[in-house]
Amino acid sequence: MDIAITRQVSRSIDNCELTFLQREPIDVARARQQHAQYEAALKDLGLAVLSLPEEPDLPDSVFVEDTALVLDECAIITRPGAASRRLETTSIAQVLAAFRELRHIQAPARVDGGDILQLGRCIYVGLTQRSDTNAMEQMQEMLAPLGYEVRAIRVSGCLHLKSAATEVARDVLLLNPAWVDQGVFEGVKIIEIDPSEPHAANALRLGDSAMYSAAFPRTRERLAGSGIHTVIVDADELAKAEGALTCCSLVFGI
């Protein structure tokens, strides 16, 4: 069985960290409605959803992906790049301890889960304003004995690696070539986003389907043309907080 850990939208989300977007008001009630739709879609796809209560004083805490990398063998608790987000890892570590052996990224390293892309036994770590080579090296030391290869990858123009590239099927990446060099990915098929939709590269692969935002119809047509089955949800309110679909859950097998 696969499980998805989620967290309810914080009432303080208007105070979220922003790097590339201009701040605009976030309708908390609408964001919560969209998040509920997201959780319902996870359940419809057969996942057990462990929905955690909101953290009223942690504006970005709905974006649980940034707090951990969960592998079959262990879970790595991250050290988020924004200092305001580091308390988010405490409660996630407590939950994950029931499922996995925990390992921790140590200061002064910084890494957000949104900068970590796993493709089989290869793990790419995006070097961004939120993640650095120190964290990548710590991950390499932890994971090499388990048979994983950890590689650093340069990202520009967006918040996270998963803003620029996500896996939509086995060995198939959806990618924005303006933000990441597709040449660094080996042995995979690339589907480029429609250039008019620069934020369209984030999708959440769940088995034979990919959850995808309704905001990007042109790129969705490209996915359909490549045989990718998409489950469409609305996510534009959380997008105002620089959030995307992968950000809102930690998915792993139990």
pLDDT digit string, tens, across residues 104-115: 999 999 999 999
210 pLDDT band, cuts 50/70/90, is: very high
pLDDT given for residue 78 in this prediction:
98
- Dihedrals φ, ψ of 111, to 5°? -160, 135
Rounded mean pLDDT, 6-14: 98
pLDDT digit string, tens, across residues 144-157: 999 999 999 999 99
Rounded mean pLDDT, 115-140: 98
The answer on pLDDT for 11 being more than 90 is yes
158 pLDDT band, cuts 50/70/90, is: very high
Q: Is 16 a catalytic residue?
A: no
pLDDT given for residue 186 in this prediction:
87
pLDDT given for residue 219 in this prediction:
98
- Torsion region of 46: left, alpha or beta (phi above 0 gives left; psi -120 to 50 gives alpha): left
From 16, 158, 247, 248, the catalytic residue = 247
One-letter amino acid of 201: A
The answer on pLDDT for 1 being more than 90 is no
Query: What is the pTM (predicted TM-score) of this model?
Result: 0.97
156 contacts 19 by C-beta, under 8 angstroms: no
Using CA atoms, how far apart are residues 112 and 119, in angstroms rounded to an integer?
17
Using CA atoms, how far apart are residues 165 and 176, in angstroms rounded to an integer?
6
A 10 A CB-CB count for 119 gives 17
pLDDT given for residue 43 in this prediction:
98
- Sheet with 2-7: list strands edge to edge: 48-52, 2-7, 250-253
Share of the chain above pLDDT 90, in %: 99
Instruction: Please spell the DSSP secondary structure of 139-181, one letter per residue.
Output: HHHHHGGGT-EEEEEE--SSS-HHHHEEEEETTEEEE-TTTS-
Rounded mean pLDDT, 217-228: 98
pLDDT given for residue 121 in this prediction:
96
A 10 A CB-CB count for 185 gives 21
Domains (range + CATH), the chain: 2-253 (3.75.10.10)
The answer on pLDDT for 57 being more than 90 is yes
Rounded mean pLDDT, 15-44: 97
Q: Is 247 a catalytic residue?
A: yes
**Residues near 61 by Cβ (< 8 Å), separated by ≥ 6?**
7, 10, 54, 55, 85, 88
From 158, 160, 199, 248, the catalytic residue = 160
Identify whether 177 is preceded by a cis peptide bond (ω within 30 of 0).
no
pLDDT given for residue 104 in this prediction:
98
Mean pLDDT of all residues belonging to the chain: 97
117 contacts 142 by C-beta, under 8 angstroms: no
86 pLDDT band, cuts 50/70/90, is: very high
- Torsion region of 63: left, alpha or beta (phi above 0 gives left; psi -120 to 50 gives alpha): beta
